[in-house]
Structure 1
Amino acid sequence: MAEQTRKLVLGGGTAGVVTRCRDFTRRALADWHWPAGAEAEEDVLLLVSEVVTNACLHAGGPRELVLRHAPGGLRVEVTDDSPEPPSPRPPDRARPGGHGLILMERLARGWGCVPSPPGKTVWLELPGPPPPGRDADPDAAGPDA
């Protein structure tokens, strides 16, 4: 299978953009036969929400969302108009939010940021779902294994 790409041009702004991006991603994953409601799909949707929300909070909203599906995984790219790269803020249990980069570190296979004048593109890569009938973690076999 060759890489398949989907692009959603957003043009900046923040109203309803997270929902639009999640819906766009959900449709693409369904077209690519990712199991709906599975952990792999939920991880993708959560991270899309996080990176798009960060663009809304810190960069005036995303310009575009690009999904690149290839054998073995998915690459998500969100481009905005701010040249400032994402930076973690110190944990503060008294304030909501601030956990997006921690989630990306834990759930994504990798992530980063590249200049995309006038702003940047934040990207992340996730593994694809396990083949049907296989557990995501081969070491998680039950006692009857």
Structure 2
Amino acid sequence: MSTARPYAPGPGEPPIGQVRRLRLTGAGGAVPRARDFARTALGDWGWLPAYTAGQRAAAEDVLLVVSELVTNACLHAGGPDELRLRLAAELVRVEVSDLGAGDPAPRTPHRAARPGGHGMFIVQRLCLRWGVERAQDTPGKTVWAELGASR
């Protein structure tokens, strides 16, 4: 699991606060498109290629969380509208917006042998924090998760 600690970017490193957006409305293949987009962003931000096992695990955690959140939007909310990745001090925030009314929650009790229903359990286990923000004047929500880097 990833953890966060204070971090200041060095020369040539991406600026903290950078945001990448990918529109997914009506697009087929949302999950692989989102993973490819996230992989490119992680490469641009210096998370990939990973040079240590910890760096590799942190990048793989981000890609897995992107897959889980986009998949949940596809299965339970009529599909995702947008994926946003935000680079913060030593962490990445993953945000997936959709028009769904329901709130995601880990299935309880969690049973590893049961098929399906593991997405939010995985997100909960891998992330420092996660939550849901409701849109103000429009239907829908943004499900977000924050993951720390390993340097």
User: Does the pair score TM above 0.5?
Assistant: yes
Count of matched residue positions in the alignment of Structure 1 and Structure 2: 129
Q: Deviations over 1:31-64 (max 9, x none)?
A: 0010335111100000100000000000111000
Structure of greater Rg: 1
Could you state the TM-score of these two structures normalised by the residue count of structure 1? Answer: 0.82
Runs of 4+ in structure 1 deviating by more than 2 angstroms, as ranges, are 87-95
CA contact (8 A) 1:12 1:80 kept: no
**What letter corresponds to residue 125 of structure 1 in structure 2?**
E
Q: CA RMSD in A?
A: 1.6
Partners of 1:5 and 1:77 in 2: CA distance: 11
SS class of match (2:33) = helix
1:88 aligned residue: 106
Give the alignment partner of residue 33 of structure 2, picking from 7, 14, 20.
20
Q: Which runs of 5 or more structure 1 residues have no equivalent in the other structure?
A: 131-145
Percent identity, aligned pairs only?
Answer: 53
Cα gap change, 1:89 to 1:36, in 2 (>3 Å) = same
* Aligned pairs for 1:101-140 within 5 A: 101-116=120-135, 117-130=138-151
Partners of 2:85 and 2:105 in 1: CA distance: 23
Could you state the TM-score of these two structures normalised by the residue count of structure 2? Answer: 0.79
Shift in Å, 1:86? 0.5
Q: Which runs of 5 or more structure 2 residues have no equivalent in the other structure?
A: 1-14, 51-55
